[in-house]
Structure 1
Protein backbone atom coordinates (compact mmCIF):
# COMPACT_ATOMS: atom_id res chain seq x y z
CA UNK A 1 0.00 0.00 0.00
CA UNK A 2 1.10 3.60 -0.38
CA UNK A 3 3.57 4.40 2.39
CA UNK A 4 4.73 7.64 3.93
CA UNK A 5 8.39 6.86 4.49
CA UNK A 6 8.72 9.87 6.79
CA UNK A 7 6.38 8.26 9.31
CA UNK A 8 7.82 6.12 12.12
CA UNK A 9 7.64 2.37 11.56
CA UNK A 10 6.52 -0.22 14.07
CA UNK A 11 9.95 -1.86 14.01
CA UNK A 12 13.39 -0.74 12.86
CA UNK A 13 14.13 -1.84 9.32
CA UNK A 14 17.47 -2.97 8.04
CA UNK A 15 17.32 -1.01 4.78
CA UNK A 16 15.75 2.39 5.55
CA UNK A 17 13.77 3.97 4.12
CA UNK A 18 11.77 0.78 3.63
CA UNK A 19 9.14 1.77 1.16
CA UNK A 20 7.15 -1.35 0.38
CA UNK A 21 3.96 -2.24 -1.45
CA UNK A 22 1.12 -4.55 -0.49
CA UNK A 23 -1.07 -6.42 -2.91
CA UNK A 24 -3.85 -8.95 -2.62
CA UNK A 25 -4.38 -12.25 -4.39
CA UNK A 26 -7.93 -12.24 -5.74
CA UNK A 27 -10.02 -15.34 -4.89
CA UNK A 28 -10.44 -16.48 -8.48
CA UNK A 29 -10.78 -20.15 -7.50
CA UNK A 30 -14.30 -21.49 -7.08
CA UNK A 31 -13.30 -23.02 -3.72
CA UNK A 32 -13.02 -19.49 -2.31
CA UNK A 33 -16.42 -18.22 -3.47
CA UNK A 34 -18.94 -20.22 -1.47
CA UNK A 35 -22.16 -21.73 -2.76
CA UNK A 36 -24.30 -19.55 -5.00
CA UNK A 37 -21.71 -16.79 -5.47
CA UNK A 38 -21.70 -15.01 -8.81
CA UNK A 39 -18.01 -14.90 -9.86
CA UNK A 40 -18.66 -11.50 -11.42
CA UNK A 41 -18.56 -10.27 -7.82
CA UNK A 42 -14.77 -10.48 -8.19
CA UNK A 43 -14.88 -7.18 -10.08
CA UNK A 44 -16.31 -5.08 -7.20
CA UNK A 45 -14.06 -7.06 -4.84
CA UNK A 46 -11.02 -5.89 -6.80
CA UNK A 47 -12.33 -2.33 -7.00
CA UNK A 48 -12.76 -2.29 -3.23
CA UNK A 49 -9.19 -3.50 -2.78
CA UNK A 50 -7.93 -0.67 -4.97
CA UNK A 51 -10.12 1.79 -3.06
CA UNK A 52 -8.63 0.56 0.23
CA UNK A 53 -5.17 1.39 -1.08
CA UNK A 54 -3.78 -2.00 -2.05
CA UNK A 55 -0.98 -1.52 -4.56
CA UNK A 56 -1.59 -4.63 -6.65
CA UNK A 57 -4.20 -7.18 -7.62
CA UNK A 58 -2.77 -10.65 -8.30
CA UNK A 59 -4.31 -13.82 -9.72
CA UNK A 60 -2.97 -17.38 -9.75
CA UNK A 61 -3.07 -20.11 -12.34
CA UNK A 62 -4.04 -23.80 -12.46
CA UNK A 63 -6.12 -26.38 -14.25
CA UNK A 64 -6.58 -28.62 -11.23
CA UNK A 65 -9.52 -26.76 -9.72
CA UNK A 66 -12.30 -24.64 -11.30
CA UNK A 67 -11.31 -20.99 -11.48
CA UNK A 68 -11.42 -17.90 -13.63
CA UNK A 69 -8.53 -18.04 -16.11
CA UNK A 70 -5.95 -15.51 -14.85
CA UNK A 71 -5.31 -13.47 -17.99
CA UNK A 72 -9.05 -13.24 -18.64
CA UNK A 73 -9.46 -11.89 -15.12
CA UNK A 74 -6.71 -9.32 -15.58
CA UNK A 75 -8.16 -8.19 -18.92
CA UNK A 76 -11.51 -7.60 -17.19
CA UNK A 77 -9.77 -5.57 -14.47
CA UNK A 78 -7.62 -3.54 -16.87
CA UNK A 79 -10.56 -1.44 -18.01
CA UNK A 80 -12.11 -0.75 -14.59
CA UNK A 81 -9.11 -0.27 -12.30
CA UNK A 82 -6.89 2.80 -12.46
CA UNK A 83 -3.85 2.55 -10.22
CA UNK A 84 -3.11 -0.95 -8.99
CA UNK A 85 -0.53 -3.19 -10.60
CA UNK A 86 -2.15 -6.25 -12.19
CA UNK A 87 -0.09 -9.35 -11.54
CA UNK A 88 0.09 -13.11 -11.95
CA UNK A 89 1.25 -15.17 -8.99
CA UNK A 90 2.26 -17.29 -10.64
CA UNK A 91 1.44 -17.82 -14.29
CA UNK A 92 2.27 -21.27 -15.67
CA UNK A 93 3.42 -20.50 -19.24
CA UNK A 94 3.53 -24.15 -20.30
CA UNK A 95 -0.29 -24.18 -20.20
CA UNK A 96 -0.33 -21.82 -23.20
CA UNK A 97 1.19 -21.63 -26.66
CA UNK A 98 4.18 -19.28 -26.19
CA UNK A 99 3.60 -16.92 -29.14
CA UNK A 100 -0.09 -16.52 -28.35
CA UNK A 101 0.69 -15.97 -24.67
CA UNK A 102 3.06 -13.14 -25.61
CA UNK A 103 0.25 -11.46 -27.53
CA UNK A 104 -2.24 -11.89 -24.67
CA UNK A 105 0.19 -10.48 -22.11
CA UNK A 106 1.05 -7.54 -24.38
CA UNK A 107 -2.66 -6.88 -24.83
CA UNK A 108 -3.32 -6.83 -21.08
CA UNK A 109 -0.36 -4.49 -20.62
CA UNK A 110 -1.76 -2.21 -23.32
CA UNK A 111 -5.30 -2.21 -21.90
CA UNK A 112 -4.01 -1.48 -18.39
CA UNK A 113 -1.71 1.34 -19.46
CA UNK A 114 1.45 -0.53 -18.49
CA UNK A 115 0.34 -1.87 -15.10
CA UNK A 116 1.11 -5.55 -15.71
CA UNK A 117 3.64 -7.64 -13.74
CA UNK A 118 4.12 -11.27 -14.78
CA UNK A 119 5.36 -13.70 -12.13
CA UNK A 120 5.96 -17.13 -13.66
CA UNK A 121 6.68 -20.65 -12.49
CA UNK A 122 7.39 -24.08 -13.94
CA UNK A 123 5.10 -26.11 -11.68
CA UNK A 124 5.85 -28.45 -8.80
CA UNK A 125 6.57 -32.17 -8.56
CA UNK A 126 3.55 -34.29 -7.74
CA UNK A 127 -0.08 -33.55 -8.42
CA UNK A 128 0.42 -29.77 -8.63
CA UNK A 129 2.72 -29.97 -11.64
CA UNK A 130 3.23 -33.16 -13.58
CA UNK A 131 -0.45 -33.79 -14.47
CA UNK A 132 -0.62 -30.30 -15.96
CA UNK A 133 2.27 -31.05 -18.29
CA UNK A 134 0.45 -34.16 -19.46
CA UNK A 135 -2.66 -32.08 -20.19
CA UNK A 136 -0.46 -29.63 -22.10
CA UNK A 137 1.20 -32.49 -24.05
CA UNK A 138 4.64 -31.35 -22.94
CA UNK A 139 7.42 -33.29 -21.21
CA UNK A 140 8.08 -32.71 -17.51
CA UNK A 141 11.82 -32.95 -18.15
CA UNK A 142 13.72 -29.73 -18.83
CA UNK A 143 10.75 -27.67 -17.68
CA UNK A 144 12.96 -24.89 -16.32
CA UNK A 145 14.78 -24.55 -19.63
CA UNK A 146 11.41 -24.37 -21.37
CA UNK A 147 10.28 -21.64 -18.99
CA UNK A 148 13.42 -19.56 -19.51
CA UNK A 149 13.19 -19.89 -23.29
CA UNK A 150 9.52 -18.95 -23.24
CA UNK A 151 10.31 -15.75 -21.37
CA UNK A 152 13.20 -15.03 -23.76
CA UNK A 153 10.80 -15.48 -26.68
CA UNK A 154 8.26 -13.13 -25.10
CA UNK A 155 10.89 -10.47 -24.63
CA UNK A 156 12.03 -10.86 -28.23
CA UNK A 157 8.47 -10.38 -29.48
CA UNK A 158 7.81 -7.47 -27.12
CA UNK A 159 10.85 -5.57 -28.37
CA UNK A 160 10.64 -6.35 -32.11
CA UNK A 161 8.26 -4.47 -34.35
CA UNK A 162 8.79 -6.53 -37.49
CA UNK A 163 8.83 -10.22 -38.37
CA UNK A 164 11.34 -12.24 -36.40
CA UNK A 165 12.53 -15.76 -35.59
CA UNK A 166 13.54 -17.52 -32.40
CA UNK A 167 15.83 -20.53 -32.10
CA UNK A 168 16.39 -21.98 -28.65
CA UNK A 169 17.21 -25.48 -27.50
CA UNK A 170 13.53 -26.36 -27.09
CA UNK A 171 11.58 -23.62 -28.85
CA UNK A 172 12.01 -23.01 -32.57
CA UNK A 173 9.98 -20.48 -34.55
CA UNK A 174 10.66 -19.06 -37.99
CA UNK A 175 8.91 -16.17 -39.68
CA UNK A 176 6.92 -14.96 -36.67
CA UNK A 177 4.72 -12.11 -37.94
CA UNK A 178 4.80 -8.67 -36.28
CA UNK A 179 3.59 -8.98 -32.71
CA UNK A 180 1.35 -6.85 -30.54
CA UNK A 181 3.59 -4.39 -28.74
CA UNK A 182 2.97 -3.85 -25.02
CA UNK A 183 2.50 -0.46 -23.40
CA UNK A 184 5.72 -0.97 -21.40
CA UNK A 185 8.79 -0.62 -23.64
CA UNK A 186 10.40 -4.04 -23.92
CA UNK A 187 7.48 -5.64 -22.14
CA UNK A 188 6.17 -5.93 -18.59
CA UNK A 189 8.52 -7.06 -15.82
CA UNK A 190 8.77 -10.83 -15.41
CA UNK A 191 9.35 -12.23 -11.92
CA UNK A 192 10.25 -15.79 -10.99
CA UNK A 193 8.64 -17.81 -8.23
CA UNK A 194 10.68 -20.40 -6.34
CA UNK A 195 13.45 -20.59 -3.77
CA UNK A 196 15.59 -23.58 -4.74
CA UNK A 197 19.29 -22.77 -5.26
CA UNK A 198 18.81 -23.05 -9.03
CA UNK A 199 15.77 -20.74 -8.94
CA UNK A 200 17.67 -18.14 -6.92
CA UNK A 201 20.54 -18.12 -9.42
CA UNK A 202 18.19 -17.94 -12.41
CA UNK A 203 16.25 -15.09 -10.84
CA UNK A 204 19.38 -13.02 -10.43
CA UNK A 205 20.72 -13.79 -13.88
CA UNK A 206 17.64 -13.19 -16.01
CA UNK A 207 14.43 -12.13 -14.22
CA UNK A 208 13.09 -8.77 -13.04
CA UNK A 209 11.82 -9.83 -9.64
CA UNK A 210 11.50 -12.67 -7.14
CA UNK A 211 8.21 -14.01 -5.71
CA UNK A 212 8.86 -16.86 -3.23
CA UNK A 213 6.96 -17.91 -0.09
CA UNK A 214 9.55 -19.16 2.43
CA UNK A 215 8.02 -19.90 5.85
CA UNK A 216 10.97 -18.32 7.68
CA UNK A 217 11.97 -14.65 7.17
CA UNK A 218 15.60 -15.67 7.73
CA UNK A 219 15.39 -17.89 4.66
CA UNK A 220 13.95 -14.97 2.72
CA UNK A 221 16.90 -12.79 3.69
CA UNK A 222 19.41 -15.48 2.73
CA UNK A 223 17.69 -16.20 -0.57
CA UNK A 224 17.51 -12.54 -1.50
CA UNK A 225 21.24 -12.18 -0.88
CA UNK A 226 21.88 -15.08 -3.29
CA UNK A 227 19.59 -13.50 -5.92
CA UNK A 228 21.38 -10.18 -5.67
CA UNK A 229 24.82 -11.80 -5.80
CA UNK A 230 23.82 -13.73 -8.94
CA UNK A 231 22.56 -10.51 -10.53
CA UNK A 232 25.78 -8.66 -9.76
CA UNK A 233 27.88 -11.54 -11.09
CA UNK A 234 25.86 -11.44 -14.31
CA UNK A 235 26.52 -7.72 -14.68
CA UNK A 236 22.95 -6.75 -13.84
CA UNK A 237 21.65 -4.07 -11.48
CA UNK A 238 20.75 -6.06 -8.36
CA UNK A 239 18.89 -3.09 -6.88
CA UNK A 240 16.60 -3.06 -9.92
CA UNK A 241 15.10 -6.46 -9.12
CA UNK A 242 11.82 -6.44 -7.18
CA UNK A 243 11.97 -8.56 -3.99
CA UNK A 244 8.39 -9.74 -3.49
CA UNK A 245 6.74 -12.22 -1.13
CA UNK A 246 3.69 -14.48 -1.43
CA UNK A 247 2.12 -14.98 2.01
CA UNK A 248 -1.17 -16.47 3.21
CA UNK A 249 -2.86 -14.44 5.95
CA UNK A 250 -5.90 -14.81 8.18
CA UNK A 251 -6.66 -12.23 10.86
CA UNK A 252 -8.78 -13.21 13.86
CA UNK A 253 -8.37 -11.85 17.37
CA UNK A 254 -8.92 -15.38 18.72
CA UNK A 255 -5.73 -17.29 17.81
CA UNK A 256 -7.31 -20.76 17.96
CA UNK A 257 -10.17 -19.65 15.71
CA UNK A 258 -7.68 -18.20 13.25
CA UNK A 259 -5.82 -21.49 13.02
CA UNK A 260 -9.04 -23.49 12.62
CA UNK A 261 -10.15 -21.28 9.75
CA UNK A 262 -6.76 -21.41 8.02
CA UNK A 263 -6.63 -25.16 8.52
CA UNK A 264 -9.95 -25.45 6.68
CA UNK A 265 -8.53 -23.28 3.92
CA UNK A 266 -5.38 -25.41 3.65
CA UNK A 267 -7.43 -28.62 3.49
CA UNK A 268 -9.76 -27.22 0.80
CA UNK A 269 -6.96 -25.69 -1.29
CA UNK A 270 -4.11 -28.20 -0.95
CA UNK A 271 -5.60 -31.24 0.69
CA UNK A 272 -3.19 -30.92 3.60
CA UNK A 273 -3.46 -29.64 7.19
CA UNK A 274 -2.23 -26.21 8.16
CA UNK A 275 0.58 -27.74 10.24
CA UNK A 276 2.02 -29.21 7.05
CA UNK A 277 1.34 -26.21 4.81
CA UNK A 278 3.16 -23.78 7.10
CA UNK A 279 6.34 -25.85 6.85
CA UNK A 280 6.30 -25.19 3.08
CA UNK A 281 4.79 -21.73 2.65
CA UNK A 282 4.69 -18.42 4.47
CA UNK A 283 1.51 -18.40 6.57
CA UNK A 284 0.50 -15.86 9.21
CA UNK A 285 -2.60 -16.21 11.40
CA UNK A 286 -3.91 -14.66 14.57
CA UNK A 287 -4.61 -11.20 16.01
CA UNK A 288 -3.90 -8.17 13.84
CA UNK A 289 -0.87 -7.09 15.89
CA UNK A 290 0.74 -10.52 15.55
CA UNK A 291 0.11 -10.71 11.81
CA UNK A 292 1.46 -7.18 11.36
CA UNK A 293 4.58 -8.15 13.30
CA UNK A 294 5.00 -11.22 11.11
CA UNK A 295 4.75 -9.18 7.92
CA UNK A 296 7.17 -6.65 9.38
CA UNK A 297 9.77 -9.40 9.84
CA UNK A 298 9.65 -10.12 6.11
CA UNK A 299 9.99 -6.42 5.34
CA UNK A 300 13.02 -6.32 7.62
CA UNK A 301 14.39 -9.29 5.67
CA UNK A 302 14.14 -7.26 2.46
CA UNK A 303 10.69 -7.93 0.97
CA UNK A 304 9.36 -4.87 -0.83
CA UNK A 305 6.16 -6.14 -2.43
CA UNK A 306 3.92 -8.32 -0.27
CA UNK A 307 1.29 -10.33 -2.14
CA UNK A 308 -1.26 -11.43 0.45
CA UNK A 309 -3.49 -14.43 -0.06
CA UNK A 310 -6.61 -14.18 2.07
CA UNK A 311 -7.57 -17.27 4.06
CA UNK A 312 -11.29 -17.51 3.40
CA UNK A 313 -13.60 -20.10 1.85
CA UNK A 314 -16.43 -17.74 0.94
CA UNK A 315 -16.33 -14.41 -0.82
CA UNK A 316 -17.93 -12.84 2.26
CA UNK A 317 -15.08 -14.11 4.44
CA UNK A 318 -12.56 -12.94 1.87
CA UNK A 319 -14.12 -9.46 1.97
CA UNK A 320 -13.95 -9.38 5.76
CA UNK A 321 -10.29 -10.35 5.65
CA UNK A 322 -9.61 -7.71 3.00
CA UNK A 323 -10.92 -4.98 5.29
CA UNK A 324 -9.02 -6.28 8.33
CA UNK A 325 -5.73 -6.55 6.46
CA UNK A 326 -6.10 -3.08 4.95
CA UNK A 327 -6.36 -1.74 8.49
CA UNK A 328 -3.45 -3.70 9.93
CA UNK A 329 -1.10 -2.77 7.07
CA UNK A 330 -1.17 0.81 8.33
CA UNK A 331 0.66 -0.47 11.43
CA UNK A 332 3.63 -1.39 9.25
CA UNK A 333 4.09 2.14 7.95
Structure 2
Protein backbone atom coordinates (compact mmCIF):
# COMPACT_ATOMS: atom_id res chain seq x y z
CA UNK A 1 0.00 0.00 0.00
CA UNK A 2 1.29 3.46 -0.90
CA UNK A 3 1.45 6.43 1.46
CA UNK A 4 0.77 9.95 0.27
CA UNK A 5 0.65 13.31 2.01
CA UNK A 6 -1.56 16.31 1.44
CA UNK A 7 -0.50 19.86 0.68
CA UNK A 8 -1.93 22.24 3.31
CA UNK A 9 -3.51 24.42 0.64
CA UNK A 10 -6.79 24.68 2.55
CA UNK A 11 -5.49 25.39 6.03
CA UNK A 12 -6.94 28.81 6.86
CA UNK A 13 -4.64 31.66 5.78
CA UNK A 14 -1.88 29.32 4.64
CA UNK A 15 1.26 31.08 3.40
CA UNK A 16 1.30 30.19 -0.33
CA UNK A 17 5.11 30.37 -0.47
CA UNK A 18 5.41 27.10 1.48
CA UNK A 19 3.72 25.01 -1.24
CA UNK A 20 6.71 24.54 -3.53
CA UNK A 21 9.16 23.67 -0.73
CA UNK A 22 6.50 21.44 0.88
CA UNK A 23 6.12 19.46 -2.35
CA UNK A 24 9.87 19.09 -2.86
CA UNK A 25 10.37 18.00 0.74
CA UNK A 26 7.55 15.43 0.48
CA UNK A 27 9.11 13.94 -2.65
CA UNK A 28 12.53 13.79 -1.03
CA UNK A 29 11.03 12.08 2.04
CA UNK A 30 9.65 9.31 -0.16
CA UNK A 31 5.89 9.89 -0.20
CA UNK A 32 4.11 8.41 -3.22
CA UNK A 33 1.58 11.17 -3.83
CA UNK A 34 0.81 14.79 -3.07
CA UNK A 35 -2.89 15.51 -2.57
CA UNK A 36 -4.95 18.68 -2.38
CA UNK A 37 -8.32 19.72 -1.02
CA UNK A 38 -10.55 22.08 -2.97
CA UNK A 39 -12.92 24.82 -1.92
CA UNK A 40 -13.55 28.28 -3.37
CA UNK A 41 -15.15 30.20 -0.49
CA UNK A 42 -12.35 29.68 2.01
CA UNK A 43 -9.04 31.55 2.56
CA UNK A 44 -6.69 29.00 1.04
CA UNK A 45 -4.99 28.29 -2.29
CA UNK A 46 -6.90 26.72 -5.18
CA UNK A 47 -6.09 23.07 -5.72
CA UNK A 48 -5.14 23.62 -9.35
CA UNK A 49 -2.73 26.38 -8.36
CA UNK A 50 -1.23 24.29 -5.56
CA UNK A 51 -0.66 21.33 -7.87
CA UNK A 52 0.79 23.51 -10.62
CA UNK A 53 3.34 24.81 -8.10
CA UNK A 54 3.98 21.25 -6.88
CA UNK A 55 4.46 20.01 -10.45
CA UNK A 56 7.20 22.57 -10.99
CA UNK A 57 8.91 21.78 -7.70
CA UNK A 58 9.06 17.99 -8.15
CA UNK A 59 10.03 15.34 -10.68
CA UNK A 60 8.61 11.98 -9.57
CA UNK A 61 5.87 12.18 -6.97
CA UNK A 62 2.26 11.60 -8.04
CA UNK A 63 -0.29 14.42 -7.92
CA UNK A 64 -3.95 13.99 -6.95
CA UNK A 65 -6.88 16.29 -6.28
CA UNK A 66 -8.70 14.57 -3.44
CA UNK A 67 -11.16 15.88 -4.31
CA UNK A 68 -11.76 18.82 -6.63
CA UNK A 69 -15.34 20.09 -6.87
CA UNK A 70 -15.75 19.84 -10.62
CA UNK A 71 -19.13 21.48 -11.02
CA UNK A 72 -17.88 24.67 -9.39
CA UNK A 73 -15.80 25.24 -12.55
CA UNK A 74 -16.65 25.98 -16.18
CA UNK A 75 -15.87 22.65 -17.81
CA UNK A 76 -13.60 23.79 -20.65
CA UNK A 77 -11.54 26.00 -18.33
CA UNK A 78 -11.05 23.19 -15.82
CA UNK A 79 -10.16 20.68 -18.52
CA UNK A 80 -7.54 23.08 -19.91
CA UNK A 81 -5.99 23.76 -16.50
CA UNK A 82 -5.92 20.07 -15.59
CA UNK A 83 -4.28 19.20 -18.91
CA UNK A 84 -1.68 21.91 -18.35
CA UNK A 85 -0.77 20.62 -14.89
CA UNK A 86 -0.61 17.05 -16.15
CA UNK A 87 1.56 18.02 -19.09
CA UNK A 88 3.90 20.18 -17.02
CA UNK A 89 4.34 17.35 -14.53
CA UNK A 90 5.16 14.79 -17.22
CA UNK A 91 1.88 12.92 -16.81
CA UNK A 92 1.80 12.61 -13.01
CA UNK A 93 -1.68 14.01 -12.33
CA UNK A 94 -4.81 12.09 -11.41
CA UNK A 95 -7.98 14.16 -11.29
CA UNK A 96 -10.01 13.25 -8.21
CA UNK A 97 -13.40 14.80 -8.70
CA UNK A 98 -16.76 15.14 -6.95
CA UNK A 99 -19.80 17.34 -6.49
CA UNK A 100 -19.44 19.12 -3.13
CA UNK A 101 -22.15 19.79 -0.57
CA UNK A 102 -21.83 23.32 0.79
CA UNK A 103 -23.88 26.14 -0.70
CA UNK A 104 -20.81 28.38 -0.85
CA UNK A 105 -18.90 25.79 -2.89
CA UNK A 106 -20.84 27.11 -5.88
CA UNK A 107 -19.83 30.70 -6.48
CA UNK A 108 -19.53 30.88 -10.28
CA UNK A 109 -22.26 33.00 -11.83
CA UNK A 110 -24.75 30.97 -13.84
CA UNK A 111 -23.84 27.69 -12.13
CA UNK A 112 -26.48 27.18 -9.41
CA UNK A 113 -26.56 24.31 -6.95
CA UNK A 114 -29.14 22.40 -8.97
CA UNK A 115 -28.87 19.33 -11.15
CA UNK A 116 -25.28 18.75 -10.07
CA UNK A 117 -25.10 15.14 -11.20
CA UNK A 118 -26.41 15.92 -14.67
CA UNK A 119 -23.99 18.83 -14.95
CA UNK A 120 -21.04 16.69 -13.93
CA UNK A 121 -21.99 14.00 -16.43
CA UNK A 122 -22.04 16.63 -19.18
CA UNK A 123 -18.77 18.13 -17.91
CA UNK A 124 -17.05 14.74 -18.04
CA UNK A 125 -17.86 14.48 -21.72
CA UNK A 126 -16.48 17.99 -22.20
CA UNK A 127 -13.22 17.08 -20.44
CA UNK A 128 -12.76 14.10 -22.74
CA UNK A 129 -13.49 16.18 -25.81
CA UNK A 130 -11.05 18.91 -24.75
CA UNK A 131 -8.28 16.42 -23.93
CA UNK A 132 -8.77 14.69 -27.27
CA UNK A 133 -7.95 17.97 -29.03
CA UNK A 134 -11.44 18.84 -30.19
CA UNK A 135 -12.22 22.48 -31.06
CA UNK A 136 -13.67 24.79 -28.42
CA UNK A 137 -15.49 28.10 -28.44
CA UNK A 138 -17.15 27.63 -31.80
CA UNK A 139 -13.91 28.06 -33.73
CA UNK A 140 -11.32 25.71 -35.19
CA UNK A 141 -8.82 25.74 -32.32
CA UNK A 142 -8.38 23.15 -29.58
CA UNK A 143 -7.76 24.27 -26.00
CA UNK A 144 -4.77 22.02 -25.36
CA UNK A 145 -1.49 21.15 -27.09
CA UNK A 146 -1.22 18.18 -29.42
CA UNK A 147 -0.27 15.06 -27.52
CA UNK A 148 -2.37 15.86 -24.46
CA UNK A 149 -3.49 12.63 -22.84
CA UNK A 150 -6.80 11.64 -21.30
CA UNK A 151 -6.11 12.48 -17.67
CA UNK A 152 -7.06 9.56 -15.39
CA UNK A 153 -9.92 10.32 -13.02
CA UNK A 154 -10.99 9.09 -9.61
CA UNK A 155 -14.29 9.94 -7.99
CA UNK A 156 -15.53 10.79 -4.52
CA UNK A 157 -19.01 10.93 -3.03
CA UNK A 158 -21.38 8.54 -1.32
CA UNK A 159 -24.49 8.68 -3.53
CA UNK A 160 -25.20 5.62 -5.72
CA UNK A 161 -24.78 7.80 -8.81
CA UNK A 162 -21.25 8.72 -7.69
CA UNK A 163 -20.19 5.08 -7.59
CA UNK A 164 -21.83 4.38 -10.94
CA UNK A 165 -20.08 7.41 -12.44
CA UNK A 166 -16.76 6.16 -11.08
CA UNK A 167 -17.30 2.74 -12.64
CA UNK A 168 -17.98 4.23 -16.09
CA UNK A 169 -15.47 7.09 -16.24
CA UNK A 170 -12.87 6.48 -13.57
CA UNK A 171 -9.95 4.36 -12.50
CA UNK A 172 -11.02 4.30 -8.88
CA UNK A 173 -12.56 5.88 -5.80
CA UNK A 174 -11.35 8.40 -3.19
CA UNK A 175 -12.98 8.14 0.23
CA UNK A 176 -13.74 11.08 2.50
CA UNK A 177 -11.81 11.65 5.72
CA UNK A 178 -14.37 9.76 7.78
CA UNK A 179 -14.00 6.87 10.28
CA UNK A 180 -12.84 3.55 8.76
CA UNK A 181 -16.24 1.77 9.15
CA UNK A 182 -17.78 4.41 6.87
CA UNK A 183 -14.89 4.02 4.44
CA UNK A 184 -15.45 0.25 4.40
CA UNK A 185 -19.04 0.79 3.22
CA UNK A 186 -17.88 3.16 0.49
CA UNK A 187 -15.16 0.79 -0.71
CA UNK A 188 -17.68 -2.05 -0.90
CA UNK A 189 -20.03 0.14 -2.92
CA UNK A 190 -17.21 1.10 -5.28
CA UNK A 191 -16.28 -2.54 -5.86
CA UNK A 192 -19.92 -3.47 -6.46
CA UNK A 193 -20.43 -0.64 -8.95
CA UNK A 194 -17.27 -1.69 -10.78
CA UNK A 195 -18.54 -5.26 -11.12
CA UNK A 196 -22.00 -4.10 -12.17
CA UNK A 197 -20.46 -2.00 -14.93
CA UNK A 198 -18.63 -5.06 -16.27
CA UNK A 199 -15.20 -3.55 -15.69
CA UNK A 200 -12.22 -5.88 -15.62
CA UNK A 201 -9.95 -5.97 -12.60
CA UNK A 202 -10.87 -3.75 -9.69
CA UNK A 203 -11.04 -0.03 -8.90
CA UNK A 204 -8.12 1.75 -7.30
CA UNK A 205 -9.15 2.61 -3.73
CA UNK A 206 -7.70 5.62 -1.93
CA UNK A 207 -8.38 6.45 1.71
CA UNK A 208 -7.77 9.86 3.22
CA UNK A 209 -7.33 10.99 6.81
CA UNK A 210 -6.21 14.12 8.60
CA UNK A 211 -3.18 13.85 10.85
CA UNK A 212 -1.09 15.89 13.26
CA UNK A 213 2.20 15.23 14.99
CA UNK A 214 2.71 18.80 16.14
CA UNK A 215 0.12 21.07 17.80
CA UNK A 216 -2.81 18.66 18.13
CA UNK A 217 -5.33 21.20 19.37
CA UNK A 218 -4.56 23.60 16.54
CA UNK A 219 -4.90 20.78 14.01
CA UNK A 220 -8.32 19.75 15.30
CA UNK A 221 -9.41 23.40 15.36
CA UNK A 222 -8.26 23.84 11.75
CA UNK A 223 -10.20 20.80 10.56
CA UNK A 224 -13.30 21.87 12.48
CA UNK A 225 -13.05 25.36 11.00
CA UNK A 226 -12.78 24.02 7.45
CA UNK A 227 -15.96 21.98 7.85
CA UNK A 228 -17.78 24.37 10.18
CA UNK A 229 -20.49 25.29 7.70
CA UNK A 230 -21.51 21.66 7.24
CA UNK A 231 -22.92 21.85 10.77
CA UNK A 232 -21.51 21.16 14.22
CA UNK A 233 -22.20 17.41 14.15
CA UNK A 234 -20.25 16.70 10.97
CA UNK A 235 -17.48 19.19 11.74
CA UNK A 236 -17.02 17.68 15.20
CA UNK A 237 -16.96 14.14 13.81
CA UNK A 238 -14.25 15.06 11.31
CA UNK A 239 -12.21 16.97 13.88
CA UNK A 240 -12.46 14.04 16.30
CA UNK A 241 -11.30 11.72 13.50
CA UNK A 242 -7.94 13.50 13.06
CA UNK A 243 -5.17 10.97 13.64
CA UNK A 244 -3.17 12.55 16.46
CA UNK A 245 0.22 11.12 17.34
CA UNK A 246 2.32 8.31 15.93
CA UNK A 247 0.37 5.40 17.41
CA UNK A 248 -3.00 6.57 16.13
CA UNK A 249 -1.57 7.36 12.71
CA UNK A 250 -0.12 3.86 12.41
CA UNK A 251 -3.39 2.32 13.62
CA UNK A 252 -5.41 4.37 11.13
CA UNK A 253 -3.18 3.37 8.22
CA UNK A 254 -3.29 -0.28 9.29
CA UNK A 255 -7.11 -0.20 9.38
CA UNK A 256 -7.28 1.21 5.87
CA UNK A 257 -4.85 -1.42 4.64
CA UNK A 258 -7.11 -4.10 6.10
CA UNK A 259 -10.02 -2.58 4.16
CA UNK A 260 -8.10 -3.07 0.91
CA UNK A 261 -6.93 0.49 0.29
CA UNK A 262 -4.29 0.83 -2.42
CA UNK A 263 -3.15 4.15 -1.00
CA UNK A 264 -3.69 6.31 2.06
CA UNK A 265 -3.19 10.06 1.80
CA UNK A 266 -2.59 11.81 5.12
CA UNK A 267 -3.80 15.40 4.93
CA UNK A 268 -2.09 17.80 7.33
CA UNK A 269 -4.08 19.65 9.94
CA UNK A 270 -1.17 22.06 10.25
CA UNK A 271 0.69 24.14 7.66
CA UNK A 272 3.97 23.20 9.34
CA UNK A 273 6.62 21.73 7.01
CA UNK A 274 8.07 19.86 9.96
CA UNK A 275 5.03 17.60 9.77
CA UNK A 276 6.46 16.07 6.56
CA UNK A 277 9.59 14.79 8.27
CA UNK A 278 7.69 13.69 11.36
CA UNK A 279 5.16 11.73 9.31
CA UNK A 280 7.91 10.13 7.21
CA UNK A 281 9.63 8.95 10.38
CA UNK A 282 6.37 7.32 11.52
CA UNK A 283 5.33 5.63 8.27
CA UNK A 284 8.15 5.39 5.73
TM-score (normalised: structure 1): 0.75
1:177 is the counterpart of 2:141: yes
Question: Is 1:322 the equivalent of 2:279?
Answer: no
Structure 1, unmatched stretches of 5+, are 1-19, 165-172
Deviations 1:128-182 (A, max 9, x none): 2x233354321212101211221221112223x4548xxxxxxxx8667324158
Shift of 1:28: 1.6
1:104 is matched with: 81
SS at match of 1:245: strand
Cα pair distance change 1:116/1:183, threshold 3 Å: farther
Decide which of 268, 277, 287 is 2:235's aligned counterpart: 277
Q: 2: CA distance between counterparts of 1:231 and 1:195?
A: 15
The residue number in structure 1 matching 2:118 is 145
Asked if the contact 2:206/2:262 (under 8 Å) is kept, the reply is: yes
Query: Is the 1:114–1:182 contact (alpha carbons within 8 Å) kept by the matching residues of 2?
Result: no
Paired position in structure 2 for 1:247 = 209
How many equivalent residue pairs?
A: 283
Structure 1 vs Structure 2 CA RMSD: 2.7
Match of 2:225 among 244, 252, 268: 268
2:262 maps to which residue?
304
Q: Is the 8 A contact 2:167 2:194 kept in 1?
A: yes
Q: How far 1:116 sits from its partner (Å)?
A: 0.6
Note the residue ranges of structure 2 that are not aligned, 5 or more in a row.
none
Larger radius of gyration: 1
1:217-244 deviation digits (Å, cap 9, x = unpaired)? 23323322221221222121242x2201
Q: Does the CA contact (< 8 Å) of 1:204 and 1:238 recur in 2? A: no
Q: Tell me whether 1:72 sits opposite 2:49 in the alignment.
A: yes
Q: CA deviation at 1:106?
A: 1.1
**1:82 maps to which residue?**
59
Matches of 2:46 and 2:219 in 1, distance apart?
24
Written as runs of structure 1 = structure 2, the 5 A alignment for 1:143-222 is 143-159=116-132, 161-163=133-135, 177-181=141-145, 185=149, 187-213=150-176, 215-222=178-185
Paired position in structure 1 for 2:197: 234
Alignment CA distance shift 1:152-1:52 (3 Å): same
Distance 1:326 1:157, change over 3 A: same
Aligned to 1:16: none
Instruction: Calculate the TM-score normalised by the size of structure 2.
Output: 0.87
Aligned partner of residue 118 in structure 1, secondary structure: strand
